[in-house]
Structure 1
Amino acid sequence: MIFITLHEIYLTSVKIKYLIITIVLFASVTALADDPIVDLFKLKVVKPYTQYFEQTRERVYVHTNRSEYFAGDNIWFKAYVYDALYAHPVNETSKLYVELFNPLGKLIERKILFVRNGVSNNSFHIEEDLEAGEYTLRAYTNWMRNFKDQSFYRQTIKVLNSDLQKKPILKNQKELPDVQVFPEGGSFVEGVKTRFGIKVTLPDGHGTQATGFIVNSKNDTLQTFLTNVFGLGDFTITSEGNDSCRIITQFGKGEQKEIGMPMPQKKGIGLAVNNLNESKLIVELSCNEATLSEVKDKPLCLLVHNNGNVYQCIYFNFNSTLNSCFLNPKLMGPGINYITVFNADAQPIAERLVFNKAINIKGSIDFKYQLANDSLLFEVSTADSSQKPAIANLSFSVLPAKTTGNKFKTSLYADVLLLYSLKGTVESPEYYLESNDYERRYQLDNLLLTQGWRRYNWQEITAGSTPKLRYAFESGFEINVKAINAFKNKAEAKSTFTLFSPENNLILAVEADSSGKASFKKLYLKDSSNVTINASNLEGKVKNRVIETQIVTQHLDSTIIVNSSRSFQTDSVILQNPFGGKTIKLKEVVVKAQKKKDPFEGNIFSTMDDRTITITKENYFLYNSLENLLLIEFNAFTARDGDGNLTINLGASTSGSPALIVDGFTENLTSYFDRARIEDIEAIAINRFNPKLGMNGSNGSINIITRKEPVDWWDSNNYSHLSTLLVKGYAAPVQFFQPKYVLKPETTDYQKYASVYWNPNVQTDSKGKATFKFMVPKEIKELIIRSEGISQNGTVYFVDRKINLDTDL
């Protein structure tokens, strides 16, 4: 058996050091130089694997001040953008998209945040009339869209309202839970003892406790199992030839479900890992006699890795049906590690996820506090994993101890060590990291058993494939401009563009290239600010110049997929809104502030699924044309052929253009779009499939309501050398303010739903110190302090602590 590390492959200066360790562990090792086995796997596995991860993988985590909110409250949050490989804050990207979606998956609001040193913060206001339910907070960068093996950050947020509360229920109450089994390593081989992970999931996506047993064709019980509250468990079994076994799962009130066990393979290699010993990790590779006759004396490679880091490589020959080795956790990466076994053709044949706590990346947060007049003064101390004072960037949330808003399921610490490397949704990841006792390590290992193969595709990697980079790092905004000679109707190269934006403190000038084009890049532009660009000749005269402008925007989703098996039922409990709100409840009648008239009211082609936008004086200047409006607001793609005929794709399953309805009558797309002016339109509704149009609505519909009276908004584009753009830029920074509650601090509802303090910008100095203070109502005697953060070297910080102001001061 040959043991080799990443350092041996690339750093010859330290090769002798690891050779000494290797010879102690494996006495059969005599040399590594020029070994053809090592060269083979370096070329076919290690090299393409490291190349696949050469590009930075960004990851986003969002710390919110609460886990649930009342309508009328603000969702205060801080976003951390870090390098998934090293957990360092990223500096390349300065633009972050943060979105809030309603319980149906429709976009409510999107904010673009300016990221500096890997962090940013802001808030979403929850309107008083929003219905109760589970909302989704999503965050990502443009660069993250390049990697299909990487998911955006998503967090479910519960919103309450003073109306009758709506509780999630299952649409199909009779639907049974889903039961899945996962053989350890990915293979269930005949005659080989195999451990299985089992996962029992309710239709709403949550796991559930269950018991069960495995029976053979004679109904003999071969094994039993028990799942935890998250529906995860395990059992071990050895196959009995061709005998078909069944898994019988029992749950709820006497209900049960039966599924078939997977049939074992005639040949294959089983991978088993014992990761419950803190000082060493035991790896076993097993096969049956039929397999041994084929693989005996052929080389295999065992790779320990994670997200582009290769920690260990073990090369060996199969000489018996059971082969084992020990791995030192201190030579592995922190958190999730992948153990992948490759055959002699460098193809993956088994894989197992393990968790390593031997490498500590968690720093410590300590704080002292004292009363200072009517405020609580906090002194924060931070240290790295070796307990040396360290600079850290932290966020602090302070809530009453009896709050219902501290039911967080995850943390930045769990995101770095656990979530980034796993597929799909993990229930309560923080649970697995709260302690390091045997039971918690066992439950975490069961979670990893149910993960199967890593989410990236090994076949693509070993074939030398790398991610196609279609989306760039975004560093500010970009505006593209073009000058056209009005008389000659062609590009005018001898042009100068001047950009004015007093709101953004910008005055810039750039000359056109040979095609009459230029770009203003890396602009810091505030949201809802105006930018005016002038085109002139090189002497500054505007004669004969027509300018075309375009703000570079991304085509982003306005809907997401949410759990469709969940609907909501009305609860009899009526909660008092701590903010007072605009809603007045009189017995069974709800009186609300009068809403503005819907432009599509009474329109026979309007549906509940329409996505609409109203053209106002405030957003009018944002759009250069009707086609540009469809792209920005609805992600609709437009194109014209050589004859100028227009086609539009709304994202429907078919490739045809949608039906166009203007004031209740169908219109020709090309003809209308050629003559339409934005200022003549009151509102537009888009529907990807409009059933009210029958077959004519199969490609969707564009429903337009025009104005009954003209508007006199000034249009700078009437001056063809000028273009004024209304920019959807960076959201303005917001300062936390303590809400004005109508409830008194001593009431139960206040202590459930109120927020005491939120500070997203606590920065400790070189001595690891920072101070801040905040007001605490004298009636509040206990607080929950939750803090998260990160340092520039990748140390992660997390604390969730209860303090008593009577006994601790």
Structure 2
Amino acid sequence: MKNFLLAIVCILCFAFSVSDSSGLKILIFNRLHEYTSEKYPEKIYIKTDKPYYTAGEDIWFNAFLVNGVTHKKSEKSKIIYVELINENGEVISERKLFVESFSADGDFKLPLTLKDGTYLLRAYTNYMRNQPRDYFFKKEIPVFALNSEIPDSDSIENSEIETNSELPDIGFYPEGGYLIDGMTNKVAVKIKDAEISSKPIVGIIEDFEGNKVTDFKTLEFGLGLFYLKPEPGKEYRAVITNGEENILYPLPIPLSEGYVLNTSTTDKEVIINLRTNKKEGLKNMLIVGQQRGLAAFDYIQDQQTNTMLVKVPTSDLIEGVLDIVVFNESEKPVAERMVYIKKKEKIAVKVKKTNGFNTSIRDRVNMIIDIRDDSGKLVSGTFSLSITDAELIKPNNNAENIKTYLLMNSDLRGKIKSPNYFFTAGDTIKKNQQLDLIMMTHGWRRFKWQEFIQNSARQDYKPEKGIYISGNTINAKSPFQNKFSETKLTFRKKGFYQETDNTNDIGHFSYGPFVFHDTINVFLQAGSSLKSEKPNFADTNIKLATVPQRPGIIPDEINNTFNQKLSIADEEKYRKKSRNNVFRDFQFDGEREVLDEVLVETKVITKEEVEEIRRNKRARIFAPSYRVVVSDMEQTGSSTFMDLIINVPGIRTGRYTKDPKDADAIFSIENVEVNLRGMKPTIYLDDIEVDLKTARSIHSGDIDFIDIRNTGHSAAAYGLKAQGIIAIYTKQGANRRSNVTDKKPGSINYKLEGFYTAREFYAPDYSLVDRNRSREDKRTTLFWKPNLITQGFQNPTISFYTSDDKGRFQIEIEGVSNSGIPVYATAFLEVE
């Protein structure tokens, strides 16, 4: 009987242990399914016509928006925000683009006054704001100033010497996550921000007593590798000499117990070797593999063992980063490893010139772009094509492109420099080894596994399908609470458009989504009986939804110095030609010259001073007689505009009179007035003239500041308003200051800006003009086609004219097939 009961207990224990691991697996897979099917992320990639520019030139770009899991067309967002940011973290230009299918094209005209530096091109959707800003697309854009001098080779050499004399920032990354006592650990070495051609560093590994254990050497990208078997109770460090002294770097402290995860990859399989020195061994351990959120494989160890080997066929995997995670029986991740899965190219691109073999200057070029899959079928997709002067725009075969970004960079922590190096031909074994070290030194950042398993991802920011007109209706009298109301929207959009709707119970209304590319006049009304002949607007105000603040800019997103990639001769050649093109566009003649750069010194200003400058920009040109800043005052929740100005010198509120119904009353609130030095001032609300009734309806919480302008010099900016001015500036008006044209109880009229329409890339057509005209044609971008659509049944064609330059021109094609395969290809055109 005892043996029978013992057997039952053992069976139940085994069942519960298996159930625990199986339950965790089911939970993880359910979370992954929810992530990939409902809450999948979005990715953006931007192709520009060139990698660098001169002030005064145009940046032509195309923004691709895809499902972050499948890389197919995203079914969520339709709006992309693209920003050009300077080295101070200031947005100097921005575009709001509407995406019809895969992409939307745009452009930036670089101001003539831009200084030398590395600018940042940033792009995101509103939906992408649910995740950290690391997920936004970012591309560094070097810009040369018009008047800057080209640094000489000596200054660059001295700068490199000074940089190399600094202590290198080195990280040490045990495979799987931790060093474990008594077990052989594979450790990757990485120098932070190292380039592909970084000088090697040689070092040794020793214990804290100075006993040498092994040595290491970094190669390309500052990557290296060594093996270490820690002894119990000992700690270790790396020792590097700079010629004068030894520099010590402590290694991660080994754990007495834990897990060691080793992986290796062949063309046919991924081999996973998991080991432990724990007494309980690996029983009930769960290994899960996922790619971009797609479950790839799982394995539960049901045997009592300290070593387990798992082989995963690469035929079951897709190209890209494979995340391998080990969970213990307590459902905690204890080891993790990234592996890159390479696949054979599925799409080939060929460029064929169809009108003759030779090409001369100002000659017509006709081309077919042949894009086929590995079975020879034509591919459907969206692509961008640029043709640039290869003598000036030096081709960089190792640079990031749409393939390396979507398949690798966007799924790893940190930025991988020169990522296409790992996908170019030659030295395959060496490049695969270096790529594996990249995977060891860049951790997965999309999932924090404990949070991912326990909580469903929050999505506070919704995908945008178009432009919405929304806000709230508010009671016009104190305490200014939200209220139910009828609303009516009117504007001209392909004719006269009108729509009516009721708010919800708390006064919220929303119209849209709308798609338009110009600026339209919007007229909103709210009140009761709007459909009758006598609508009532008197007791209702409209408060438009505030424009969401732009996402903050992380300081280290932008390099503060431009690391020159060109030789001095190449840089000088590019600057000279691009500068001449800018001057020629503005038709500079011999009597004009560009002034030298002027150095302007300034001082650091306080936050309070910044706020005052902001207010002054909103206000009129002359300083006010008195300014009320609401944030500086302690106001109750029911305070009004009248409460804010009652103590301002020279202002008197209320008409003093006797109340016949109450002998003790000294005035009647039904006859409130505002007098400024004995006269009735004109009242402005966000630069729109309003009556006192409208001003009194504004809640203090909606007001930013109020300027009081007495008669005379202070009010001169308001023309003939001789009795003084009270100018109210709302927080809402700070976002829509230039758009609001009229506001009164029950209605608001404002201008609403639509989506940006990209300018057309200019290229001369020499079939229509004299080929021998005197004006030079020195285009650095010969041709730009942002949206090259292929339908799968016919090759697309392009046609353009060459310039006055002979030599080699690079054709660069980037895009995505409708099936979600990123494509990158280059070709060359010779002009004789």
TM-score, normalised via structure 1 length: 0.75
Q: Give the counterpart of 1:476 among 462, 466, 490.
A: 466
CA distance in 2, matches of 1:714, 1:183: 57
Question: Cα 1:195–1:115, aligned 2, differ >3 Å: closer, same or farther?
Answer: same
CA RMSD of aligned residues (A): 4.7
Per-residue Cα deviation, 1:628-673 (whole angstroms, up to 9, x for no partner): xx9xxxxx99997523389xxxxxxxxxxxxxxxxxxxxxxxxx9x
Per-residue Cα deviation, 1:31-57 (whole angstroms, up to 9, x for no partner): x9x964663333443334434554121
Code of the residue aligned with 1:211 in structure 2: it is: V
Q: Give the counterpart of 1:316 among 287, 293, 301.
A: 301
Deviation at 1:541, TM superposition (A): 4.9
Q: Does 1:117 align with 2:101?
A: yes
Question: Cα 1:233–1:604, aligned 2, differ >3 Å: closer, same or farther?
Answer: closer
CA contact (8 A) 1:195 1:237 kept: yes
Q: Give the counterpart of 1:729 among 728, 744, 754.
A: 754
CA distance in 2, matches of 1:519, 1:367: 49
Find the counterpart in structure 2 of residue 770 from structure 1. Answer: 796
Question: Cα 1:494–1:468, aligned 2, differ >3 Å: closer, same or farther?
Answer: closer
CA distance in 1, matches of 2:418, 2:739: 54
Question: Cα 1:193–1:606, aligned 2, differ >3 Å: closer, same or farther?
Answer: same
- Segment drifting more, 544-553 vs 149-158: 544-553
Question: Cα 1:187–1:482, aligned 2, differ >3 Å: closer, same or farther?
Answer: closer
Question: Cα 1:607–1:725, aligned 2, differ >3 Å: closer, same or farther?
Answer: closer
Question: Cα 1:532–1:384, aligned 2, differ >3 Å: closer, same or farther?
Answer: farther
Find the counterpart in structure 1 of residue 30 from structure 2. Answer: 47
Per-residue Cα deviation, 1:666-688 (whole angstroms, up to 9, x for no partner): xxxxxx9x97632289xxxxxxx
Code of the residue aligned with 1:507 in structure 2: it is: Y
Code of the residue aligned with 1:98 in structure 2: it is: V
Deviation at 1:398, TM superposition (A): 0.5
Find the counterpart in structure 2 of residue 410 from structure 1. Answer: 400
Deviation at 1:136, TM superposition (A): 0.3
CA contact (8 A) 2:31 2:453 kept: yes
Deviation at 1:470, TM superposition (A): 0.5
CA contact (8 A) 1:44 1:346 kept: no
CA distance in 1, matches of 2:467, 2:198: 43
- Segment drifting more, 207-216 vs 390-399: 207-216
Per-residue Cα deviation, 1:4-28 (whole angstroms, up to 9, x for no partner): xxxxxxxxxxxxxxxxxxxxxxxxx
Find the counterpart in structure 2 of residue 348 from structure 1. Answer: 333
CA distance in 2, matches of 1:405, 1:612: 47
* Secondary structure class of the residue paired with 1:235: strand
* Secondary structure class of the residue paired with 2:280: helix
* Secondary structure class of the residue paired with 1:189: coil
CA contact (8 A) 1:171 1:567 kept: no
CA contact (8 A) 2:413 2:443 kept: no
Code of the residue aligned with 2:581 in structure 1: it is: F
Aligned counterparts, 1:325-364, within 5 A: 325-358=310-343, 362-364=346-348
Question: Cα 1:255–1:435, aligned 2, differ >3 Å: closer, same or farther?
Answer: farther
CA distance in 2, matches of 1:176, 1:341: 36
CA distance in 2, matches of 1:47, 1:340: 16
Find the counterpart in structure 2 of residue 758 from structure 1. Answer: 784
- Segment drifting more, 111-120 vs 237-246: 237-246
* Secondary structure class of the residue paired with 1:522: strand
Q: Does 1:278 align with 2:271?
A: no
Find the counterpart in structure 2 of residue 182 from structure 1. Answer: 173
CA distance in 1, matches of 2:57, 2:309: 57
CA contact (8 A) 1:400 1:782 kept: yes
Question: Cα 1:149–1:594, aligned 2, differ >3 Å: closer, same or farther?
Answer: closer
Deviation at 1:803, TM superposition (A): 3.3
Q: Does 1:578 align with 2:573?
A: no
- Segment drifting more, 215-224 vs 558-567: 558-567
Find the counterpart in structure 2 of residue 644 from structure 1. Answer: 639
Per-residue Cα deviation, 1:394-414 (whole angstroms, up to 9, x for no partner): 100111121236447211111
Question: Cα 1:505–1:139, aligned 2, differ >3 Å: closer, same or farther?
Answer: farther
Q: Which runs of 5+ in 1 are unaligned?
A: 1-31, 618-625, 631-635, 647-671, 682-699
CA distance in 2, matches of 1:591, 1:149: 40
CA contact (8 A) 1:71 1:128 kept: yes
* Secondary structure class of the residue paired with 2:399: coil
Aligned counterparts, 1:51-66, within 5 A: 51-53=34-36, 54-66=38-50
CA distance in 2, matches of 1:378, 1:614: 53
CA distance in 1, matches of 2:174, 2:707: 53
* Secondary structure class of the residue paired with 1:230: helix
Aligned counterparts, 1:674-753, within 5 A: 677-679=685-687, 708-710=716-718, 716-717=741-742, 720-738=745-763
Find the counterpart in structure 2 of residue 257 from structure 1. Answer: 247
Find the counterpart in structure 2 of residue 780 from structure 1. Answer: 806
Code of the residue aligned with 2:823 in structure 1: it is: Y
Code of the residue aligned with 1:803 in structure 2: it is: L
CA contact (8 A) 2:140 2:558 kept: no
Find the counterpart in structure 2 of residue 198 from structure 1. Answer: 189
Deviation at 1:80, TM superposition (A): 0.7
Q: Does 1:447 align with 2:438?
A: yes
Q: Percent identity?
A: 21
Question: Cα 1:755–1:350, aligned 2, differ >3 Å: closer, same or farther?
Answer: same
CA distance in 2, matches of 1:187, 1:604: 45
Deviation at 1:365, TM superposition (A): 1.6
Q: Does 1:381 align with 2:361?
A: no
Code of the residue aligned with 1:776 in structure 2: it is: T
* Secondary structure class of the residue paired with 2:430: helix
Question: Cα 1:707–1:761, aligned 2, differ >3 Å: closer, same or farther?
Answer: farther
CA distance in 1, matches of 2:632, 2:103: 33
Aligned counterparts, 1:440-589, within 5 A: 440-452=431-443, 454-463=445-454, 465-480=455-470, 495-502=486-493, 505=495, 507-513=497-503, 518-526=509-517, 528-535=519-526, 537-539=530-532, 541=534, 544-545=537-538, 548-550=542-544, 553-557=547-551, 559-562=553-556, 566-567=560-561, 575-576=575-576, 577-581=579-583
Q: Give the counterpart of 2:380 among 388, 391, 409.
A: 391
Choose 1 or 2 for highest CA Rg: 2
Q: Does 1:157 align with 2:117?
A: no
Question: Cα 1:267–1:754, aligned 2, differ >3 Å: closer, same or farther?
Answer: same
Code of the residue aligned with 1:677 in structure 2: it is: L
Per-residue Cα deviation, 1:716-756 (whole angstroms, up to 9, x for no partner): 5256554222224311232112499xxx99xxx998x8111
Deviation at 1:794, TM superposition (A): 0.8
CA distance in 1, matches of 2:276, 2:74: 45
CA distance in 1, matches of 2:331, 2:160: 46
Q: Give the counterpart of 1:243 among 215, 226, 234.
A: 234
Per-residue Cα deviation, 1:63-90 (whole angstroms, up to 9, x for no partner): 1111100111111111111111111121
CA distance in 2, matches of 1:616, 1:805: 58
Deviation at 1:218, TM superposition (A): 5.5
Deviation at 1:609, TM superposition (A): 12
Code of the residue aligned with 2:33 in structure 1: it is: T
Per-residue Cα deviation, 1:252-298 (whole angstroms, up to 9, x for no partner): x77863212223211111000112x212222111233xx2x2226x2
Deviation at 1:702, TM superposition (A): 12
Code of the residue aligned with 1:756 in structure 2: it is: L
Per-residue Cα deviation, 1:365-413 (whole angstroms, up to 9, x for no partner): 2121134793211111112354421212110011112123644721111
Code of the residue aligned with 2:550 in structure 1: it is: L
Deviation at 1:361, TM superposition (A): 7.0
Code of the residue aligned with 2:254 in structure 1: it is: P
Code of the residue aligned with 1:257 in structure 2: it is: I
* Secondary structure class of the residue paired with 1:424: coil
Q: Which runs of 5+ in 2 are unaligned?
A: 1-14, 357-361, 621-627, 642-675, 677-681, 690-703, 721-737, 766-770
CA distance in 2, matches of 1:603, 1:584: 42
Deviation at 1:759, TM superposition (A): 0.5
Question: Cα 1:615–1:424, aligned 2, differ >3 Å: closer, same or farther?
Answer: same
Aligned counterparts, 1:595-614, within 5 A: 614=617
Question: Cα 1:724–1:500, aligned 2, differ >3 Å: closer, same or farther?
Answer: same
